[in-house]
Amino acid sequence: MGNAATGDSAAELLLRAAALVPWAHYAIAALLLACAFLYRFLELHLLGDLLRGLRGGRVALTFHPTSHVYHRVASKCRSLHGRYLATPWLASPHLQTLFLSISGRPPSFTYRRQLYTVRDGGTIALDWLLGSDCEEADASFCGGVISREDSTPLVVVIPGLTSDSTAAYVKHLVFSMASKGWNVVVSNHRGLGGISITSDCFYNAGWTEDFREIVNYLHQKYPQAPLFAVGTSIGANILVKYLGEEGEGTPVVGAVSICSPWDLLVTNRFIQRKLVQRCYDKALAIGLKGYAKLHQPVLARLANWEDIRKSRSIREFDRHATCVVAKYETVDTFYRRCSSANYIGSVSVPLLCISALDDPLCTREAIPCDECRANKNIVLATTDNGGHLAFFQGLTAGKLCSVLGGASVSRLNYILCGGYHLAGIKDNSSICFPLTSSFHL
C-alpha cells in the first residue's frame, strides 16, 4: 500500500510539474517532431545541401575503361563533369516529382500529326516538330516538310507510362532539341494522343514492336537522316530493350535513356514498400485505369472489365489487363521478360543513361551499374537528386525539366553526334552544337 501511494504521489508530482510547462513549449515540441517526421517522410535533403555549401553533388559516371563513347565523346561533355543542385524549396524527390506534374508552362507550339498504321492494324500518332519550326520561342507550327534527301538528324521520342506528346516534360524535351536544329518526332503509345485502339493489341512496358516498326519506317523514308532516340521512364525501358534485341541490326545510331525503371520486378516491389511509394502506385493505377476506360469496348472484349476497373495498384492492373491481353502467364513473368536490364549487354550503339538515385518511382536498386560498365557502348550518368524526370534547379525552379531540356540537349549533342561519328556515317561537325545548357551537371 505504501509503495502504491508513493507511486501515485510520484505520478501526481510529475503531472503537476508537466502542468507548469507553458503550452507554447509543447506546441513548439510538437511542431519540431512534425517537421522531423516530414523531413524523413519527404526525404528532404536541404540540410545536406547546406552542409555542402549549396554546391550540389557531382554526376557519377559509370563506363567501361576502354569505352570509345566515353573517351571520344562523353569525356568532352562539360555537363557530365559538373554538379547538380536542386531548387532549395524542392529539395525532395517527392516535391520535385509532384511539382513536375502540377506546374510549369510548356513551350507553345503545334505539332504536325501523322497517323501510322502498323502491320496488325493498330494506329500510332506521330507528332512532329521540325528544327525549322523553332526559329523563335513560342513559334507556331509553320508546316515544314522533310525531304527524302534531308540529312538533318532525326530524333524519335518515346514518352513514359500513360504520357503522350502533350505532357509538359515531353514538350520541353521536344522543343529544346528542335530549337537546336534537330527534327523531332514523338512516337505516342497506342491508344494515347487522342487516338483510338484499332486492333486487339495494347502497348505495355516491354512492347517494342511498335517502336521497331516506326524506326524502320523512318529510316526507309528518310535514309539520309541519322536516326537517334530518346526514351523517358517506361519509354526508356522500351528503348533499351529494343536496342538490346536488335543489337547491330538497328538503324538507330545513338540513344538516351532518362529515368528508366530497368528492372520491372524490383521496381514494382519498391513502390509497394513504403506509404509514400504506395501513393505513387495508386496514382499510377488510376492513370492506367483512365487509359483503359478510353478503350473499354475493346478491352472488355479481351479481358474481365470488372477486375480491371477494381484494380488498385499497378500490379493488379497488370494481372487483370496486361497479362491477359499480352498473354503472359503471371505478372512476375511479364516483369522479368520485359525488364530492359536483361538486354544491356547486347546494346551495340552509343547509349547515354541518366538516372537520379533518389527517384521515388524507379529505385536505385534496379540500376544495372555492373552491366553498364561491362558494355563499351554505354555511359551511365547518375545524380544524387532529381526525382523522377524533374531535375529542377534555380531559386524559382524556373528552369523547368532542365535535364530534359537544355542539359539533355547538351548531352544529347555530344553523345549522339559522337555516336553518329563513331558509327562511321560521316563527320559530325555540321550537327554538333555548342554547349548552351545552363544546367551545370
Catalytic residue among 359, 384, 402, 408: 359
Active-site annotation holds for 164: no
Distance separating alpha carbons of residues 191 and 203, to the nearest angstrom: 8
Own/partner pairs, 134-141, CB within 8 angstroms, 24+ separation: 134/109, 134/175, 134/178, 134/179, 137/107, 137/179, 138/107, 138/108, 138/109, 139/109, 140/108, 140/109, 140/110, 141/109, 141/110, 141/111, 141/112
Catalytic residue among 79, 187, 233, 260: 233
Catalytic residue among 388, 408, 410, 437: 388
Single out the residue of 418, 370, 419, 376 nearest to residue 64, CA to CA.
Answer: 376
Active-site annotation holds for 359: yes
Residue 125 neighbours by CB under 8 Å, 6+ apart: 113, 114, 115, 116, 164, 165, 188, 192, 193, 194, 195
Name the region of 86 (left: φ>0; alpha: ψ -120 to 50; beta: rest): beta
Three-class secondary structure of residue 125 per DSSP: strand
Distance separating alpha carbons of residues 291 and 278, to the nearest angstrom: 20
Single out the residue of 429, 411, 434, 424 nearest to residue 155, CA to CA.
Answer: 411
Strand ranges of the sheet holding 252-258, from the earlier edge strand across to the other edge: 60-63, 378-383, 351-356, 252-258, 227-232, 154-158, 183-187, 123-129, 112-117
Active-site annotation holds for 320: no
- List the Cα angle 107/110/114 in 5-degree steps: 135
C-alpha cell of residue 122 = 493498330
Residue 278 neighbours by CB under 8 Å, 6+ apart: 271, 272, 313
Single out the residue of 228, 286, 284, 291 nearest to residue 261, CA to CA.
Answer: 284
Helix (H) or strand (E) holding 117: strand 112-117
Distance separating alpha carbons of residues 436 and 177, to the nearest angstrom: 12
Single out the residue of 293, 336, 302, 335 nearest to residue 320, CA to CA.
Answer: 302
Residue type, 99: F
- Report the greatest alpha carbon distance in the chain: 102
Active site residues per annotation: 233, 359, 388
